[in-house]
């Protein structure tokens, strides 16, 4: 006889999953007070970051820049952001990281990332958007916060929670005796609901959190945090004001981002005005080398 899970019991288990899994590891972001579900250790996360970084660097399609015109400004900005991180509320985490900075020669890719463990990569395609070292500081402050705030581990934990919830819901749907095709449709709808209602909003909250704390780090490092607004204004111009609906995007819309940065600017400037300002040196031109 096939065991069946009554719908009311499935619903009960579904509602209790966040409680059960939350007991496995919950931390609070020291800047925003947001609670984070974390089911992966820092050591595991750093190991994954190191492995991913090695894969990127060993990819035959990836060209690592050795040109000092590219490398020196990136390393200069990264060093100041790292030192600011070591004085921040993430100081303990920043001290644990084995920081490494790589510049990838790819003028068409407007990107940068920081992996758990402090593994940073900057694509030269971000230079025209960042424009100056202060603009790059806004980018790197944002990316470094993703690593320090353990956003990657949080996303993995959210994925595990969602998968567990879907398995419980799937058991309830399978036990309902309904048409199998209807069950599959319901599961597909539930999966989409989980994706839009759970995973994407958390990703947007990560992006906003990284924007906020990132400009505080940039200001602590001596870079004018107002450059972050100019950075996203340029990004908006490049996108033509288009892009996917914010509701279905993992990132806040450009205008939302700009308005949020302006709201947080007074706090960032209060830090910046206590530091010796770092001049906004122009980043190198790309496309001609």
Measured between alpha carbons, how far is 274 from 216 in angstroms, rounded to an integer?
Answer: 12
Q: Which among 27, 83, 92, 143 is annotated as catalytic?
A: 143
Measured between alpha carbons, how far is 228 from 239 in angstroms, rounded to an integer?
Answer: 17
Beta pairing, strands 100-104 & 26-28: unpaired
278: left (phi over 0), alpha (psi -120 to 50) or beta: beta
- Closest to 24 (Cα-Cα) out of 170, 183, 156, 127: 156
Are 252 and 260 a contacting pair, CB within 8 Å? yes
User: Active site includes 143?
Assistant: yes
Are 206 and 146 a contacting pair, CB within 8 Å? yes
User: In degrees rounded to 5, what are phi and psi of residue 28?
Assistant: -120, 130
The residues that are catalytic are 143
């Amino acid at each position: 006889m096939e065991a069946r899970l009554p719908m009311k019991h499935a619903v009960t288990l579904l509602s209790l999953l966040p409680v059960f899994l939350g007991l496995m590891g919950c931390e609070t972001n020291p800047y925003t007070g947001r609670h984070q579900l974390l089911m992966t250790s820092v050591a595991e996360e750093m190991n994954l970051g190191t492995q991913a970084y090695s894969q990127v660097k060993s990819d035959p399609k990836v060209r690592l820049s050795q040109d000092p015109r590219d490398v020196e400004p990136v390393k200069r900005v990264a060093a100041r952001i790292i030192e600011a991180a070591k004085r921040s509320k993430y100081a303990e985490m920043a001290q644990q990281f084995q920081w490494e900075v790589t510049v990838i020669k790819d003028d068409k890719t407007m990107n940068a990332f920081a992996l758990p463990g402090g593994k940073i990569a900057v694509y030269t395609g971000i230079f025209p958007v960042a424009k100056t070292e202060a603009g790059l500081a806004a980018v790197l402050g944002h990316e470094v916060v993703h690593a320090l705030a353990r956003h990657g581990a949080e996303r993995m934990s959210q994925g595990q929670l969602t998968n567990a919830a879907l398995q419980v819901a799937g058991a309830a749907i399978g036990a309902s005796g309904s048409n199998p095709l209807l069950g599959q449709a319901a599961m597909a709808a539930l999966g989409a609901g989980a994706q839009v209602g759970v995973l994407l909003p958390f990703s947007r909250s990560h992006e906003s959190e990284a924007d906020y704390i990132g400009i505080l780090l940039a200001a602590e490092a001596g870079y004018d945090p107002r450059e972050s607004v100019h950075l996203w204004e340029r990004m908006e111009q490049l996108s033509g004001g288009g892009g996917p609906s914010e509701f279905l995007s993992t990132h806040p819309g450009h205008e939302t981002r700009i308005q949020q940065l302006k709201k947080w600017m007074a706090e960032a400037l209060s830090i910046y005005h206590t530091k010796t300002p770092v001049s906004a040196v122009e980043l190198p031109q790309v496309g001609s080398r």
